[in-house]
Structure 1
Amino acid sequence: MDMLWLALAGFILLAYTLEAISGFGSIVIALSLGALLLPIDQLLPVLVPLNICMTGYLTWRHRYMIDRRLLLGMILPGMLLGTLIGYALLPWLDAALAKRLFGALVLWFAARELWRLRHAAAEPPRPLWLGRLLSLGAGISHGLFASGGPLLVFALAGSQLDKARLRATLVTVWFTLNSLLTLAFLLDGRLLPALPQVASYAPLLLIGIWLGERLHRRFNEQHFRIAIYGLLLATGVLLLAG
């Protein structure tokens, strides 16, 4: 078991290095790889508190670029409700089924992003009702797996926000929802036993950011994203295969 948690340390370092290079979601990568070795319900109380350290810093740093109308009017209402629903459903999910559902989500997301990169296809804006429905679904996914990003990015495809404002708004979403999940883990008793691991992994965030910033200029971003999505595609297949 110690070797499994040591392997998770490597996955966390990889995930935060990749996020620093490309801006890609660290929890999706760390949870996808970690779920090959450990149950999702054991990983979440470790990965979610780690994530709020980075997202809290980025939310404060870019607070003036947050689109509050989009955040409060469309994203957060549905995602907060969905996160509560997903959190309530997680104890009722069989561990093997949860792993396969997450694998299907990762596989869909990676395949979709690879297709978009290959075809450079622009997507039309979503109708408001569909955006809110997808935000609810993203919240349920976040409550189950702390990974609502794939569905939320799909919901916001075609939005008129520039990349900087969209990034600042999304980071605020993850900070808000992961803070809520961390509080839930505290109340249900799962956070305190995980705190020693959270503390031991925390320095990896700083190392990952430092490495990512040093490597950022040495890679072609599109090629790097193809490699990341290819890794997630293979991981999704392995998760589905059990």
Structure 2
Amino acid sequence: MTDPWLWLGLFILLAYTIEAITGFGSIVIALSLGAMLLPIPELLPVLVPLNVLMSGYLTCKHRQHINWHLLTSLILPLMLAGTLTGYLLIPWLGAAFLKVLFGLLVIWFAGRELWRMAGGKVAAPHGQLTSRALTFSAGITHGLFASGGPLLVYALAGIRMDKARTRATLLSVWFTLNLTLSLLYLYDGSLVGSLHRLVWYLPLLVAGVMAGEFLHHRLNEDRFRQAVYLVLLITGCLLVVRSL
């Protein structure tokens, strides 16, 4: 198994299994592991359309819980603007620098979650200007890495929503942004070159979700999350060190 694209298939299976178990991180996990072997700009036209299929299905299923006011007045305008900005920045940033930036994002995200699970202080609510700046920054990281989730969740700290409304609203964000990115990849030609891989990886997405559903009630989720965050923390450090 010397072909890195075969390894990516394994990472996709693992990532969607983990997402089905814990409810987060399919792209962050697959991209973190895949970036050890392949350039990030080559990975995104494969990983993003796969996520559109899953997030689109779940958004439709849970659409009655979406907080439309928050989505349309705050999140989507700033996230879309940031995503387009990040997408336009990619050609100006070298592959090695992209890996360093993504590694730092993963280190911050995984380290913050491990600290929080260990009993660290919960993030305080942000002021309106700070929240908007963080949301726009989350859009930039989504345009660069299709991984705006960590910063967006941090940006929305203090906004009170129940679990169902939070999940449905975020799913609609990922569906909208990833569909936008997929259309941009179609426009620049990178999606067309990835279609043959998407066909082969799609069954792995389905298999991962089914495996995750089977394992969901058979694992200690908190301990499993800690293990995933620890792997992400190590992977982020390796990405930074290997790219310097």
TM > 0.5 between the two?
Answer: yes
Q: 1:18 corresponds to which residue?
A: 18
TM norm structure 2? 0.97
Once residues 122 and 93 of structure 2 are traced to their aligned partners in structure 1, the CA distance between those partners, rounded to angstroms, is 36
- Please name the residue that 1:201 is paired with: 201
Structure 2 unmatched runs, 5+: none
Instruction: Give the Å deviation of 1:210.
Output: 0.6
CA contact (8 A) 1:74 1:131 kept: no
> 1:219 Cα deviation (Å)?
1.0
**Map of 2:65 onto structure 1:** 65
Which residue matches 2:106? Answer: 106
Distance in 2 (alpha carbons) for counterparts of 1:2 and 1:179: 32
In structure 2, how many angstroms separate the alpha carbons of the residues matched to 1:105 and 1:96? 14
Is 1:93 the counterpart of 2:93? The answer is yes
Correspondence for 2:37 = 37
Matches of residues 166-181 of structure 1 in structure 2 within 5 Å?
Answer: 166-181=166-181
Counterpart residue number, 2:230: 230
Return the alpha-carbon distance in structure 1 between the equivalents of residues 34 and 42 of structure 2: 10
Alpha-carbon distance in 2 for matches of 1:70, 1:52? 21
Query: Is the Cα–Cα contact under 8 Å of residues 122 and 158 in structure 1 kept in the other structure?
Result: no
Residue 15 of structure 2 aligns to a residue whose secondary structure is helix
Partner of 1:133: 133
- What root-mean-square deviation, in Å, do the aligned CA atoms of Structure 1 and Structure 2 show? 1.1
Q: Deviation of residue 120 (structure 1)? A: 5.2
CA contact (8 A) 1:123 1:157 kept: yes
How far residue 122 of structure 1 moved from its aligned partner, in angstroms, is 2.9
User: Aligned residue pairs: how many?
Assistant: 242
Contact 2:31 2:43 (C-alpha < 8 Å) held by counterparts: yes
Instruction: Give the 4+ runs in structure 1 shifted more than 3 A.
Output: none
2-side partners of 1:213 and 1:50: how far apart? 18
Q: How far does residue 49 in structure 1 lie from its aligned partner after superposition?
A: 0.3
Q: 1:183 and 2:209 equivalent?
A: no
Deviation of the 1:123 alpha carbon: 2.8
In the TM superposition, residue 125 of structure 1 has moved relative to its aligned partner by: 2.1
Deviation (angstroms), 1:151: 0.4
Whichever residue aligns with residue 6 of structure 2, its letter is L
Cα-to-partner distance string for 1:58-81 (whole Å, 9 max, x where unaligned): 000000000011111111111000
Question: Once the 2 structures are TM-superposed, how far is the Cα of residue 129 of structure 1 from its aligned partner?
Answer: 1.7
Q: Which amino acid aligns with 2:156?
A: L
Query: In the TM superposition, what whole-angstrom CA distance separates every residue of 1:158-196 from its partner, at most 9, and x where no partner exists?
Result: 221111110110010000000000000000010101000
Preserved CA contact (<8 Å) 2:123 2:154: no
State the one-letter code of the partner of 2:179: S
**SS at 2:122's partner residue?**
coil
Q: Percent identity?
A: 60
Provide the secondary structure at the position in 2 that maps to 1:119.
coil
Distance in 1 of aligned mates of 2:187 and 2:28: 24
- Provide the rounded CA distance (Å) in 1 between the counterparts of 2:73 and 2:49: 26
1:173 counterpart letter in structure 2: V
1:53 Cα shift?
Answer: 0.4
Separation of aligned partners in 2, 1:173 and 1:22 = 19
